[in-house]
Amino acid sequence: MRTASQLHNGETSEIVGVDLDHPSAKRLIELGFTPGQNIELIGKSIFNDPVAFSIRGTVVAVRKSEASCIKVR
């Protein structure tokens, strides 16, 4: 299964889950990264960290390590 950190610029995917064992899982869910939501990778910073996603009509930047706990298909 792929993670959000593996998406390419402009690629859209559906969230299937969040790894609840990750320390930032609760924060990500509160930001709207919930199963069934579509996300699009808007851009990556230099060295690919942080990464910016479009979700629920807004742009949210998260660390690559946080994006790696978001499971997508």
Domain boundaries, the chain: 2-72
CA separation for the pair 20, 41 (Å, rounded): 22
Q: pTM of the entire structure? A: 0.92
Alpha-helical (H) ranges within the chain are 25-30, 64-67
**Fold designation for 2-72:** SH3 type barrels. (2.30.30)
Residue 46 has pLDDT above 90, yes or no: no
For 9-40, write each residue's pLDDT tens digit. 999 999 999 999 999 999 999 999 999 999 99
Single-letter code of the amino acid located at 25: A
Sign for the CA dihedral angle at 14, 16, 22, 26 comes to positive
